[in-house]
């Protein structure tokens, strides 16, 4: 595990060097977990020489050995104002330029920490840390493969829990129960303040086209207090059911959607589904080092335009302007397959690709799979068929 | 609903007047829901005269009527830089002093909005908005009563889903399934970055004493990526099972814990449980307008000290320094029953009271109930008995 930690730290150090930053102070659970493989409340201090310090508020009985740190690099703190003296006591100089997680840290905490390092230039390191996390180590890739494998094993049981007349919420509850029994941890981690959902979404009929305030691929009415996903309307004959749950089986989140039907769908739905699969096949081919994110998005858009479905791609009244996104410790890692995204793919990046199309009176069709970027194109993590499964074929 | 909205707005306006703030710009889902009873992505602008504007980024098809606003007070925006011109176009002056949600808004967004209102003094309104939310209207109280009623109905079924040999996680999954089937929305909303959990916690045996990085009453090992609550160890004869799930049945969250046992517990556990009930009865009596939070906490501590249990109250190696907390749109509203908290209770505040005590080799005992502060002391929202229920008595 120390070797694995060093690989993660090296990725952060590389970003620090590129940005000429002298030190980085991490406090979010996700980045703490990225460095230490566990979560504590407090601060992780990493300087450009690679010196790593654990400054822990809670648990108060955590020990240096729990973090695999030498005693002198571990400190139980009560407040951030203690940090500079701790550094000086160890013969370290205070950084002239320091990263904080400015896209995640509330302003009040940022102001307080800035005062602690009054002589330093404080910069926002959030984006660079996301970039560091975007290329996965072999172990991280293995964890994502494991999540996908367990995730698809759950989805194979979905037809067994469907009962005619169920509402979307009722079926969602059964799928969530399968997920949890299959080892899903439940927690749906997102980056930023633009997404919040319980475990995932299930959409059928007209609800699939309901616009949402959140930054997900599709919407759904949900509940007024959390307007996303399933509502309480019954799933009807001739409708599709698109299941999109977060696959958090070990802290690393794979993303997997599958489309089901209640009986036969109109022919237009199957045609649109094949267009989605064509887009997925095209993107899988592009998931190689050197590909540019916006090019992939534009290529996908070409396919959907040729099929005459551009006006219902990724939503209808409101359309999401992406077709894939990184995933890992949060469901929305970098990079994003979206317009104007110049990011260049690197081997080991992991992306969820989710071409989805709205069909009036039916719901959404399409699919979603998580892929690892390799020299040979995307490695698809789930083996489950992408075809529409009829829930009444039992 | 417009009357209800005005009551919420009046509470915010009162805080603005107390703090001499000219306008308030809200962007978090929770405060957006507090004002509009629904969530959108964008900004809610409220000035000291009570003028309310909806500045919506998503859903892009939202209309003024969906927010019950006149057309001229509604605007679809792409970016916050459009806000000042929108105000000027309506003949409003730019505020000289503006609240943003500084304890929740990431620094990068705060910096961007500050630049939009370059002439204004930007202040942190988070705490005052929490204070505004802390006193519930009659309708909010009714929603919390409903959540508690549905919550306790679920808990009555817990003994039915227990099977000998189950692990904590296995039983937690069954309880979560009961919760969802009983109408729980699942989403566990917290304030701040110090808590994250999937639906709640279930603790048994030694796991109940495991310290957590989070700010919950008790800990539990959970998973390294989310160290809270149930672990995968089996629940054994002679152990307690403390179930503490978030009761989000309508957007308003009640908090309810109940203690179960597998067979008989040692006598010390029942004695400690009675001490917890004694604390709860004492606090219920104090939940009246005029009571001071720290006094209530100190009174609770006196009881537990007299019982000789102070060293295992609210944890063991790490002890939580509170015995109750506000609840509502998030699980950790104001006020908090904790040391040095000078807040004075007001009628209509809603608090979850959760005296919990660790018993070695057994687990945690104690209880939790949600109360409304009234002139006659706390109104207990759940009627479910607080006594320990033996899961093997079937």
Low-confidence ranges of chain A (pLDDT < 70): 394
User: Cβ distance A322 to A194 under 8 Å?
Assistant: no
Mean pLDDT computed over B54-76? 97
pLDDT, residue B193, reads 82
Cα-based torsion angle of the residue sequence B303, B304, B308, B313 in order, rounded to the nearest 10 degrees: 180
What pLDDT sits at residue B171? 98
Q: Which of A104, A185, A219 sits opposite B106 (nearest CB)?
A: A104
| B189 neighbourhood in chain A, CB within 8 Å | 196
The pLDDT score that the predictor gives to residue B1 is 77
Residue A297's alpha-carbon distances to A7, A280, A305, B182, in angstroms, are: 31, 11, 12, 42
Phi, psi (rounded to 5 degrees) for A54: -110, 115
CA distance to partner chain A, nearest, from residue B237 (Å)? 23
Nearest to A330 by CA among A123, A100, A28, A102: A28
**Angle (deg, nearest 10), helices B107-116 and A107-116:** 100
Query: Which segments of chain B are extended strands (E)?
Result: 23-26, 41-47, 52-58, 74-76, 97-100, 121-124, 200-204, 240-248, 253-261, 324-326, 333-337, 350-353, 356-359, 363-366, 369-372, 379-380, 389-390
Compute how many other C-beta atoms are within 10 angstroms of the C-beta atom of residue B270: 16
C-alpha pair distances (Å), B339 with each of B295, B309, B336, B358: 8, 18, 9, 20
The CATH fold assigned to B135-390 is Creatine Amidinohydrolase (3.90.230)
What are the residues facing A351 on neighbouring strands? A326, A371
Mean pLDDT of chain B: 97
Q: What is the pLDDT of residue A280?
A: 98
pLDDT by residue (tens digit) across B317-352? 999 999 999 999 999 999 999 999 999 999 999 999
- Please tell me which residue of chain B has the smallest CA distance to A100: B107
> Using alpha carbons only, how large is chain B's radius of gyration in Å?
23
Taking CB atoms and an 8 Å limit, are B186 and A196 in contact across chains? no
Tokens of A253: 């989140």
Alpha carbon of residue A202 to chain centroid: 18
Classified as helix, coil or strand, A285 is: helix
| Cβ atoms within 10 Å of A298's Cβ, excluding its own | 13
In angstroms, the CA B293 to CA A287 distance is: 57
Is A1 near chain B, with CB under 8 Å?
Answer: no
Largest CA distance in chain A: 72
pLDDT attached to residue A113:
97
Q: Answer for the pair B192, B332: CB distance below 8 angstroms, yes or no.
A: yes
Contact B214 A41 (CB under 8 A): yes
H or E element at residue B273: helix B267-286
Would you list the domain boundaries of chain A?
A: 2-133, 135-390
Q: What is the predicted pLDDT for the residue at B394?
A: 65
Question: Could you report the per-residue pLDDT of B300-316, keeping only the tens digit for each?
Answer: 999 999 999 999 999 99
CA atoms within 13 A on the CB side of A165: 0
What is the full DSSP assignment across A332-375?
SEEEEE-TT--PBP-TTBEEEE--EEEETTTEEEE-BEEEE--T
Comparing CA positions, the residue from B88, B144, B104, B312 lying closest to residue B217 is: B312
**Whether A137 contacts chain B with CB within 8 A:** no
Q: Hey, what's the torsion of the CAs at B85, B90, B94, B97, to 10 degrees?
A: -130
Give SS3 for B390. strand
**Which of the residues A4, A32, A39, A130 would you substitute to probe the B interface, choosing the one with the greatest number of B C-beta atoms within 10 Å?**
A39
Interatomic CA distance for residues B59 and B56, integer angstroms: 7
Longest dimension (CA), chain B: 72
Check B225 against A185: CB less than 8 A apart. yes
The answer to whether the beta carbons of residues A218 and A203 sit under 8 Å apart is yes
pTM (whole model) above 0.95:
yes
DSSP string, A213-266: SS-SSS----BTTB--S--SSBP-TT-EEEEEEEEESSSSEEEEEEEEESSPPP
B246, B252 contact by CB (below 8 A): no
Question: Which among B50, B48, B107, B109 has a CA at the least distance from the CA of B83?
Answer: B109
DSSP 3-state assignment of B265?
coil
> Touching check for A250 and chain B: CB below 8 Å?
yes
Residue with tokens 């397959």: A337
Hey, how many other C-beta atoms are within 10 angstroms of the C-beta on B331? 23
Calpha distance B99→B113 (Å, rounded)? 11
Contact B91, B63 (CB under 8 A): no
Find the residue in A nearest to B231 (Cα). Answer: A185
Identify the residue whose tokens are 């916690």.
B201
With CA atoms as reference, the chain A residue closest to B192 would be: A106
Q: B303: closest CA among B345, B371, B254, B355?
A: B355
CB contact under 8 A, A185 and B194: no
- What pLDDT is attached to residue B192? 87
Beta carbons within 10 angstroms of residue A49's beta carbon: 10
**Measured distance CA(A134)–CA(A352) in Å, rounded:** 12
Whether B28 has its CB under 8 Å from any CB of chain A: the answer is: yes
Contacts with A, B 328-387, CB within 8 Å: 329
Residue at token pair 């176009």: B89
Q: Assess whether pLDDT exceeds 80 at residue B32.
A: yes
Which residue from A247, A177, A166 is spatially nearest to A204, judged by alpha carbons? A166
Instruction: For residue B185, list chain A residues with Cβ-Cβ distance below 8 A.
Output: 198, 223, 225-226
**Assigned token pair, A273:** 């589904």
Distance of CA A4 to CAs A8, A9, A47, A71, Å?
A: 7, 9, 18, 21
CA distance B306 to B325: 23
**Distance from C-alpha of A66 to C-alpha of B224, rounded to nearest angstrom:** 12
A43 → chain B, closest CA residue: B213
CATH of the structural domain A2-133, one choice from 3.30.210.10, 3.40.350.10, 3.30.1300.10, 2.60.40.1930: 3.40.350.10
CA B375 to chain centre: 23
B18/B12 Cα distance (integer angstroms): 10
- Rounded Cα distance between A177 and B178, Å, is 10
Q: What are phi and psi of B247, to 5 degrees?
A: -95, 70
Q: Answer for the pair B244, B368: CB distance below 8 angstroms, yes or no.
A: yes
Among candidate residues B145, B130, B138, B99, the one with its CA nearest the CA of residue B11? B130
CB contact under 8 A, A227 and B39: yes
């Amino acid at each position: 595990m120390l070797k694995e930690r060093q690989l993660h730290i090296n990725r952060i150090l590389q970003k620090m060097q590129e940005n000429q930053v002298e030190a980085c102070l991490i406090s979010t659970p996700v980045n703490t977990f990225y460095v230490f493989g566990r979560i504590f409340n407090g601060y992780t201090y990493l300087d450009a020489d690679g010196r790593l310090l654990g400054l822990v508020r809670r648990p108060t009985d955590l020990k240096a050995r729990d973090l695999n740190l030498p005693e002198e690099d571990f400190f139980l703190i009560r407040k951030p104002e203690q940090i500079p003296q701790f550094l000086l006591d160890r013969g370290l100089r205070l950084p002239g330029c320091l990263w904080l997680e400015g896209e995640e840290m509330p302003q009040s905490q940022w102001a307080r920490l800035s005062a602690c390092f009054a002589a330093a230039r404080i910069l926002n390191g959030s984006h660079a840390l996301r970039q560091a996390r975007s290329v996965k180590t072999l172990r991280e890739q293995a964890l994502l493969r494991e999540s996908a494998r367990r995730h698809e094993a759950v989805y194979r049981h979905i037809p067994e829990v469907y009962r005619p007349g169920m509402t979307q919420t009722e079926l969602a509850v059964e799928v969530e129960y399968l997920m949890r029994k299959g080892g899903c941890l439940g927690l749906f981690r997102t980056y930023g303040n633009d997404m919040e959902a319980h475990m995932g979404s299930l959409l059928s009929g007209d609800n699939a086209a309901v616009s949402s305030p959140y930054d997900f691929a599709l919407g759904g009415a949900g509940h007024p207090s959390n307007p996303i996903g399933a509502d309480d309307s019954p799933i009807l004959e001739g409708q599709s059911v698109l299941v999109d749950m977060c696959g958090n089986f070990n802290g690393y989140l794979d993303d997997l959607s599958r489309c089901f039907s209640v009986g036969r769908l109109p022919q237009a739905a199957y045609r649109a589904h094949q267009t989605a699969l064509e887009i997925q096949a095209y993107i899988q081919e592009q998931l190689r080092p050197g590909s540019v994110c916006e090019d992939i998005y534009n290529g996908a858009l070409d396919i959907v335009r040729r099929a005459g479905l551009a006006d219902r791609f990724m939503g209808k009244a409101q359309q999401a302007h992406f077709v894939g996104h990184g995933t890992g410790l949060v469901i929305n890692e970098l990079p994003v397959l979206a317009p104007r995204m110049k990011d260049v793919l690197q081997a080991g990046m992991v992306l969820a690709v989710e071409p989805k199309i709205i069909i009036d009176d039916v719901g959404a069709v399409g699919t979603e799979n998580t892929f690892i970027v390799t020299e040979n194109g995307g490695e698809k993590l789930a083996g489950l068929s992408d075809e529409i499964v009829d829930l009444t074929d039992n």
